[in-house]
Structures are given as structure tokens and as C-alpha cells.
Amino acid sequence: MRRCAQGDHQAFRVLYEHFAPKMYAYLLRFVNDRDMAHDLMQDGFIKAYTSIAQFVPRGEGSLQSWLMVLMRNEALQYLRRNDALRESMDIDSTPLADEIPDSEEVEQIPSEVLMQLLGELPDGYRTVFSLYVLEDKSHREIAEMLGIKERSSASQLVRAKVLLTAKIKNWLKENKE
Amino acid sequence: MKATNNHNEPWLDSFSQKLQDYEEPLPSHSWEQMEARLQGEILRPEKQKSRFHLKPWMGVAAALVVAVFSLYFFTQKQEVLTSQGKAVKSSLAALADKPSLSLPVNVTSLFCEDETCYYLDHNMVDRARIYAVNEGGIALFTAKRDGFELAGQEGLDSALQASLLQSLNNHRQLFLQSVASIFRKSREIN
């Protein structure tokens, strides 16, 4: 960390190679365009590089959490600039799944498939779902982050779950032995 | 144990746990790209905290100096803009006579220097393709790992081709950064 703060590229390379695959996956939760996610990740790492001197370690995992906040800011700024957070589907046009999947079913699906199914959701749904389900944020926090109403966050989450349920059921059906 | 947002829906808990430590393989040359961008960052002068305390007369003197220099740089900038405008105009006029190697529709002028304008082809997303156009003709360059390479030309003698290539390679860092930034912006627009 000290060598990174002094502008040592090799030290920063170690940090980059350790955290970048995780940050790339993290950005793909928000931006379903691999090139763009990669660009945004590098923007985030440049911010980390230029401000690492101000980072104060607060125990294990604090560097990763700090990087994730930087990456999330990059992703949300990008989505807001592109007006991608508006609700993009009427609730009536959302296909309904017969039943929700059980946790054993979800556990047998490979992680990369779950990422792919998540990536197929509209930007707004995926972002709300990621923040609520994967990061345990409240609708109030999500509304503040995305500049939307709490009600909109809640309704996008419902639709995201319905769509994802249908996609999971579909995948399980197609991949049944 | 703290209740999470997913405590009523176990499938969401499983979903969340499966993605908790998920990592995605990086594209090839990811670090090399990152390093090139970092080089650009460290070339920028760092802001340093002032060790001097300003006195009122120093402020007035500084304002006067700034005013004089601003006027000077404003007139200089106007001259640069006029010469760039001239270069764009003459390079576009040159294209009218070169139908076989004309510029694609999605191009952005990167910059003009010595009556030559460098245009970036937006359509190429994996590899930068840059057109150099001046009154003499037009040349097409592609970006390689160790520099740019001439891929086609019309109306340029070998000396001019070599000088364009030299100029392009001299500004390689600037071009690669501009290319990355323009691709990003064009993707945002699209």
C-alpha cells in the first residue's frame, strides 16, 4: 500500500492483479457490456491509484470494500448518464413464473450461469436487484444512490425477481438430465 | 444472526452466496492497458500545497500578471484554432478527389498538426484505425502493439508517408488514450 501511494507501478500491478477479476465481476452486476465494464473498472482503479494515499485501512477486507465503493460509483454514474435506470417494462408485460425456485435448485446452477441470467435483466432491474439482494441495501439507500423513488426501487425489485425466477426455471428445465 | 433482505426468500440467499466471491477472467492485456492509462495519469503535474502566505499586494500583482498572460494566450489560441480550422477544411477538401480511400462515416477528428488532420474510425472497436489526411492525400494506419503501421494510402509520396507514420508514433500515447476515450463515449451515445 505504501509503495502504491509512492507511485510504484509494480506494487500497483500486484494490487490490480489480485482485485481486478473480482471488481470486473462486480461491475458486470451493474453493466452488462463487458468492454464497458472493463473500461469502468480501469477508471475506478485510476481513481484508486490517485487517491490511495488517503485510504485508511480499517481491518481485513477494508481495501476491497473501498475499491467496491469506487467501482460502484463509476457504474452508477455511467448508468445515470445513459438514463438506464428508468423502469423499462410494464408490470403487465412481465411474464409470471409458476413458482419460485428453491435454494437447492439455485445452488446447483453454476455461478457464471447465474451471472449470465442476471445480465439478461434490464439495467434498472439488475441494478436494484444487485444492490438489494447481493449487497443488502435498503430501498431508501438504493433510491438515494440511483436518484429514484423508494417505490420505484421496490417495484423494480419485484419485477427483477419475477423475471429472474422465470429465467432460472427455464434454465433448469433446459438443463434437466 | 443479522436478518438480511433475503431472509424470507432462501433462493435469494443462495443466489447471493453463489456470487459473493465470484471472479470474472480479465480480457487479455488488461494490465498493459491499465499501465498505459496510469502513465498518462502520472504525466499530469501533481497539485502541491502552497507554502507561502499571500499578502494583499501579491494578489493584485498576480492578478495583473494573469490578465496580461491571459490576453497573450487568448490571441495565441485564436491563431491555433484558425490554423486547425484551415487544416480540417483543406483535409476534407482533399477527400473529395479520393473516392477509393474515403473516410468512413463514423469518424472523429483527433487533432490537427502541420496541415494534417488525424481522424479516428469509430467502427473499429477492437483495433484503432486512424486516417491521416492532408492536402497531399490520405493514409490509413492501424494500431499495433509496438506502434502504428501504414495499411493503405493514396496520393502521398513515400517521404510524406514516413513522416506521417513518424508523427503518429511520436504521439502514440496520446492517440491510444484518445482512442480509448472516444470509443467509450461513442458506446455511451449508442
Query: Mean pLDDT throughout A13-23?
Result: 93
Report the pLDDT value the prediction gives residue B43, as an integer from 0 to 100.
47
Q: Residue type for A152, please?
A: S
Instruction: Say yes or no to pLDDT of A137 above 90.
Output: yes
| pLDDT tens per residue across span A71-128 | 999 999 998 887 777 655 444 455 555 678 888 999 999 999 999 999 999 999 999 9
Dist CA A109 CA A176 (whole Å): 11
Dist CA A81 CA A68 (whole Å): 20
B127 part of a folded domain: yes
B123 part of a folded domain: yes
Contact present, A153 and A160 (Cβ < 8 Å): no
A55 touches chain B (CB under 8 A): no
Contact present, A131 and A142 (Cβ < 8 Å): yes
B46 touches chain A (CB under 8 A): no
A80 touches chain B (CB under 8 A): no
B19 touches chain A (CB under 8 A): yes
The number of distinct structural domains making up chain B is 1
Interchain contact, A22 vs B23, CB within 8 Å: yes
For domain A91-174, give the fold. Arc Repressor Mutant, subunit A (1.10.10)
Tell me A133's DSSP state.
I
pTM of the predicted model, to two decimals?
0.58
Contact present, B75 and B101 (Cβ < 8 Å): no
C-alpha cell, A72: 460502484
Query: Mean pLDDT throughout B141-158?
Result: 74
φ/ψ of residue B142, rounded to 5: -115, 150
| Confidence at B84, pLDDT banded by 50, 70, 90 | low
More confident residue, A106 or B124: A106
For domain A2-81, give the fold. Rna Polymerase Sigma Factor; Chain: A (1.10.1740)
Q: What is the ipTM of this complex?
A: 0.86
Which residue of A lies nearest to B126 if distances are taken between CA atoms? A35
With the C-alpha atoms ordered B75, B78, B82, B88, is the resulting torsion angle positive or negative?
A: positive
Query: B121 lies in which domain range?
Result: 94-189
B152 part of a folded domain: yes
| pLDDT tens per residue across span A58-70 | 777 788 999 999 9
- In angstroms, the separation between the Cα of residue B160 and the nearest Cα of chain A is 35
φ/ψ of residue B109, rounded to 5: -75, 120
Size of interface A-B (CB pairs under 8 A): 99
Nearest in space to A134 (alpha carbons), one of A110, A111, A168: A111
Report the pLDDT value the prediction gives residue B48, as an integer from 0 to 100.
42
Report the pLDDT value the prediction gives residue A4, as an integer from 0 to 100.
72
Dist CA A118 CA A27 (whole Å): 12
Nearest in space to A17 (alpha carbons), one of A30, A4, A6, A28: A4
Instruction: Say yes or no to pLDDT of B1 above 90.
Output: no
| Confidence at B125, pLDDT banded by 50, 70, 90 | very low
Report the pLDDT value the prediction gives residue A136, as an integer from 0 to 100.
92
The structural domains of chain A, with segments of one domain joined by +, span 2-81, 91-174
Question: What does the mean pLDDT of chain A come to?
Answer: 86
Report the pLDDT value the prediction gives residue B6, as an integer from 0 to 100.
72
A109 touches chain B (CB under 8 A): yes
More confident residue, B71 or B96: B71
Contact present, A50 and B72 (Cβ < 8 Å): no
User: Please, is B116 exposed, middle or buried when counting C-beta atoms within 10 Å of its C-beta (0-12, 13-18, 19+)?
Assistant: buried
Looking at beta carbons, which residues of chain B come within 8 Å of A168? 11
Interchain contact, A16 vs B34, CB within 8 Å: yes
B31 part of a folded domain: no
A108 touches chain B (CB under 8 A): no
The DSSP-derived string for A63-115 is HHHHHHHHHHHHHHHHHHHTTTTS--S-GGGSPPPSSPPPHHHHHTS-HHHHH
Report the pLDDT value the prediction gives residue A96, as an integer from 0 to 100.
57
Query: Mean pLDDT throughout B163-182?
Result: 71
Dist CA A23 CA A17 (whole Å): 10
Smallest Cβ–Cβ distance between A101 and the set B11, B20, B180 belongs to B11
Report the pLDDT value the prediction gives residue B22, as an integer from 0 to 100.
93
